[in-house]
């Protein structure tokens, strides 16, 4: 059985997993800072678990296009009370960060996974993960959140993203992070136009040859806003359509805001595939 090892957790990869998003930021594009207060964030996480989330992803720095970085101290102050509040939960908690200091503080506070939009590029990040037992998501991003949507260019987006992820996964393995702790993610919306995002989605199956579980994050993203003309809080239908297409393309982890509805999509997809529902 293929598993994702994340701290004390072993997640069965024989069925799609849902990663529920909890943004502890005042300026998130998708939920407008509703969970900036740590009590709200903790109760939101509990709600997502009740709705069927397999992993909770807690982030203290916005990565929306144009977002400016926050200090390490501020990022830690935002997420630690939330991680403390989630200590008793029986699901792995992931921390969405690119800073090694934040990773270490989060892992000490009980996080079991690191979701790094920079694929462990910061000095010390790879060591922080290697020295723990946590899982890691290595995501592709071209540029920085502040500037990444300024005319991104690729000759072949699938080939470039694929070789980036292959190289980052190789580095992680060489640093001593076992294969069963690694997830890769093409980084939909991170330094990519709508055309790039759809090319990646259409050819997502090609990433299976990397040999790692694939995480896909389409939930409420601006590409869906451009396509439908709808604001972030009205992109549910578009997000669910993209989630289904990602499942068809071989994604095993869906990073989403709307857990309950995504679970329904998975149930329909599993029935279509002739699999028992989860």
On whether the CB atoms of residues 105 and 84 are closer than 8 A, the answer is no
CB of 110 to ligand 9MG, least distance (A): 19
Q: Considering only CA atoms, give the Rg of the chain.
A: 17
Given the complex with ligand 9MG, which of 42 and 256 has the nearer CB atom?
Answer: 256
CB of 137 to ligand 9MG, least distance (A): 5
Alpha carbon dihedral 172, 141, 238, 230, in 10-degree steps, equals: 150
Distance CA 79, CA 35 (A): 11
Distance CA 103, CA 86 (A): 16
Task: From 124, 62, 52, 113, select the one nearest 83 (Cα to Cα).
Answer: 113
Q: Where do contacts with ligand 9MG occur on this chain (CB under 6 A)? A: 59, 63, 96, 115, 117, 137, 139, 185, 187-188, 215, 217, 255
* Residue-wise DSSP of 208-247: GGG-S-BEE--TT-HHHHHHH---GGG-HHHHHHHHHHHH
Helix ranges restricted to H, the chain: 38-50, 72-85, 100-108, 125-130, 157-174, 194-202, 222-228, 236-248, 259-272
Given the complex with ligand 9MG, which of 33 and 275 has the nearer CB atom?
Answer: 33
CB of 276 to ligand 9MG, least distance (A): 28
Given the complex with ligand 9MG, which of 49 and 184 has the nearer CB atom?
Answer: 184
Distance CA 111, CA 37 (A): 19
Distance CA 255, CA 275 (A): 21
Of the residues 221, 230, 235, 263, only one is catalytic, namely 221
CB of 54 to ligand 9MG, least distance (A): 14
CB of 59 to ligand 9MG, least distance (A): 6
Which residue minimizes CB distance to ligand 9MG? Answer: 217
Of the residues 99, 192, 255, 263, only one is catalytic, namely 255
Given the complex with ligand 9MG, which of 130 and 137 has the nearer CB atom?
Answer: 137
On whether the CB atoms of residues 216 and 198 are closer than 8 A, the answer is no
Catalytic, 255? Answer yes
Catalytic, 166? Answer no
Query: Annotated active-site positions, please?
Result: 221, 255
């Amino acid at each position: 059985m293929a598993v994702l090892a994340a701290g004390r957790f072993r997640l069965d990869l024989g069925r799609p997993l849902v990663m529920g998003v909890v943004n502890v930021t005042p300026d998130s594009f998708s939920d407008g800072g509703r969970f900036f207060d740590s009590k709200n964030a903790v109760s939101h996480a509990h709600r997502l678990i009740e709705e069927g989330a397999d992993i909770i992803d807690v982030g203290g720095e916005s990565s929306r296009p144009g977002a400016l970085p926050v200090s390490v101290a501020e990022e830690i102050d935002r997420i630690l009370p939330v991680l403390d509040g989630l200590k008793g939960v029986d699901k792995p908690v992931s921390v969405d960060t690119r800073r090694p200091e934040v990773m270490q503080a989060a892992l000490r506070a009980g996080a079991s996974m690191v979701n790094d939009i920079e694929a462990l590029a910061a000095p010390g990040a790879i060591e922080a993960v290697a020295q723990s037992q946590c899982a890691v998501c290595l995501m592709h991003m071209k540029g920085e959140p502040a500037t990444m949507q300024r005319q991104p260019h690729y000759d072949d987006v699938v080939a470039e993203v694929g070789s980036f992820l292959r190289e980052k996964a190789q580095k992680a393995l060489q640093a001593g992070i076992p294969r069963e702790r690694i997830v890769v993610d093409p980084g939909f919306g991170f330094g990519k136009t709508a055309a790039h995002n759809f090319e990646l989605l259409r050819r997502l199956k090609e990433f299976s040859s990397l040999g790692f579980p694939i995480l896909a994050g389409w939930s409420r993203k601006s590409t869906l806003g451009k396509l439908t003309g709808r604001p972030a809080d009205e992109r549910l239908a578009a997000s669910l359509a993209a989630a289904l297409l990602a499942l068809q393309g071989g994604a095993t982890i869906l990073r989403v805001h709307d857990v309950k509805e995504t679970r329904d999509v998975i149930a329909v997809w599993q029935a279509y595939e002739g699999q028992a529902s989860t």
